[in-house]
Structure 1
Amino acid sequence: MKDPAVWDQLLQRYVDGDGRVDYAGWQSRDAATLRAWLAAQTAHTEGRQEQLAHWINLYNAFTVQAVLEAYPIASIRPSLPGLPNWVGFLRFFQRPLHRLQDGCFSLAQIENQLLRQLGDPRIHFAIVCASVGCPLLRQRAYRTDAVEQQLEADLHRFIHNPAKVRFERERNILWVSRIFQWYRADFLAVSASLPGYILPRLGDGIPPCPEPQVRFLPYDWSLNQQRG
């Protein structure tokens, strides 16, 4: 079962235009709806577009489900008694807790073994780890017949968000999200450099010469939630 209609309806109900999530409302009214939809999903896909749309939807839905099960939380990197913060972080991404009809998956497995293998760095502007520093969550599900246009729109929105990317032309410094640092290899697989990937898409006048220095912005791990 790969029909994203239920996921699409939930996104429209609980995600606002700024990509913020109403976890409190979702938890109280529709946590079971999401859980049932996920339990009906399968790992089988046919074709690149279906694989992209299906696994991006599942990554984002499993992330929301993980937050709902722990909510209220301030961050996806919780402090665990007697343990450093990175332990909670690894538990969130690495443990294969997310069950489909045909097996259990971790978020890291979906990202690294299924999505990144498709060679499209635009996925990094679509998969959402529920933190403020990550891309904004869409209000609509990804669909096989529209995923290419959706990914292109995600790329445009991310690069034109000054909290994620900004270019200081006077100092010739390109400030970018740490997503570009963590997944540098994916971007360099399709471009000679990070500025070479970003600046033509940023459209901020004629690209400078020499190429700008790249600096990485602080990453905000706090939960991307609506405030009452």
Structure 2
Amino acid sequence: MEIQEITLPVNEIIPFSNVDGRGNRTSIFVQGCNLNCVYCHNPETIKLPCEETQETNYTIKELLSIIKKYGPYIRGITVSGGEATLYSTYLTQLFGEVKKLGLTCYIDTNGLFNLEKMEALIPITDKFLFDIKGINNLEKVTRKKQVNSFDNLEYLLKLNKVEEVRTVCINEYIDLESTVKEVSMRLRKYDDVIYKLIRVHHRGLTLNQKELVQGFVPSTKEMVHLENLAKSIGVKNVMSIF
């Protein structure tokens, strides 16, 4: 298949972002996700096709032309979503072209992907921003039957492919202490990896989502406790986001 015949459904492109990996980056939010998390802050990107917000299907050539326009002002691109790893074939080819521009390529992922389908994409990806949804009973959070993603996390850590790991902190839905312990046990050997503990918030949520998370937002005291717990296990780089 010719490279320009492949298309990627994109919900939004943010030309300049400094919260999607190191440096100034162009963030590309794909349309479509394999989960439906109760606290998803980009709920408009879940459905495919999406009736509420029309996605744009870009060929690699079209997307490259946009990236080139921002190229002098950015360090690289980050593909988020939705779930970027659903489009591994497209991204493998896109990243190959983006690397020729001297830019880095990041993926923001929920971590629940099939490693075999990522065989070509992982080597060409510079870094992953990796969500940990919890340790047990993930269906309560993701509203899909899933197992945890620790095996995928460990695999990428050993390859030095992880820049940050995130846990959205919400009471009742996940066992926060157990989750933070499990993540911290894996990260304590990797001083350069950031562990972000993000307190669930209402910004960007639908009305239905706000009702689901109402009353389960951790207190500042609880967040500080979780941060200290991670540090006590040996994580060098912990950040709480309120």
| TM-score bin (small chain) | 0.3 to 0.5
Normalized against structure 2, the TM-score is what? Answer: 0.32
Higher strand share: 2
Larger helix share, 1 or 2: 1
TM-score, with structure 1 as normaliser: 0.33
Answer 1 or 2: higher relative contact order, Cα 8 Å, separation at least 6: 1
